[in-house]
Structure 1
């Protein structure tokens, strides 16, 4: 596949993922925004509403992970990863990214590597209502040393 075709397919994939997250949040599909900018526009539009929720329904998890992995810009995949970490826990997010790294397409594996860094976002009680009123949350949601170890081992094996 030529680079232009690959880039167009990746852009369509990201647009599809961002559109699904926007649908779940209850936003429109931004049909009035030029297609070349629509995915980024939707990603920006969903970020704040996602972070403002104390919890997210289970149906959000897979679309958030897909959007994070399909986002071609490592600076912006945080917009999907961060709310997922707050709502579902660092452990679950990192496990999903590891699964993409192990079983995904080449593009998904590269996207998982981009999103992995964002999964380490510092968690702050003042940043999300996902915390209890006393500023706590279940520490098991964020315990991820074993997942990090498996990630490093996977990367080591793929390098040999």
Structure 2
């Protein structure tokens, strides 16, 4: 959690682990480091992809992981990127339009 970045190759495995973990409360251990390293926008976009195109199990897992991705606060004590004057592009965490897409997708019947 102290790291402000992770290698790119960690993103997909973190998202898959969050979606496939059978315990919805445990997925936080995968979502949280992804949020800090890759940004809320990218994490939520990946989960939206699972919701839209995934299997029934993947869509269910994405819903559980979404809860963490959407509600976990990004805390200054967990990452130096969030301290005043820290180096973090705010666009990495801007996700209002992704939330709108999620709501729209979740209201559609699954194909």
TM-score by length of 2: 0.90
Q: Distance in 2 between matches of 1:122 and 1:132?
A: 13
Which 5+ residue runs of structure 2 have no aligned equivalent? none
Secondary structure of the corresponding residue to residue 137 of structure 1: coil
The CA RMSD over aligned residues, in Å, is 1.6
1:17-53 superposed Cα distances (whole Å, 9 cap, x missing partner)? xxxxxxxxxxxxxxxxxxxxxxxxxxxxxxxxxx132
Q: What are the residue-to-residue correspondences of 1:95-106 with 2, within 5 Å?
A: 95-106=45-56
| TM-aligned CA deviation for residue 158 of structure 1 | 2.0
| TM-aligned CA deviation for residue 56 of structure 1 | 0.1
Q: Distance in 1 between matches of 2:20 and 2:29?
A: 12
Q: Is the 8 A contact 1:91 1:141 kept in 2?
A: yes
Q: Which of residues 32, 46, 66 is equivalent to 1:82? A: 32
Q: Distance in 2 between matches of 1:75 and 1:62?
A: 19
Give the match for residue 62 of structure 2. 112
Query: Once structures 1 and 2 are overlaid, which stretch shifts more, 126-135 or 82-91?
Result: 126-135
Which 5+ residue runs of structure 1 have no aligned equivalent? 1-50
Give the match for residue 75 of structure 2. 124
Give the match for residue 151 of structure 1. 102
Q: Distance in 2 between matches of 1:54 and 1:156?
A: 35
The structure with higher relative contact order (CA 8 Å, sep 6+) is 2
Confirm whether residue 141 of structure 1 aligns to residue 88 of structure 2. no
| TM-aligned CA deviation for residue 54 of structure 1 | 2.3
TM-score by length of 1: 0.64
Q: Is the 8 A contact 1:67 1:77 kept in 2?
A: yes
Q: Distance in 2 between matches of 1:87 and 1:133?
A: 18
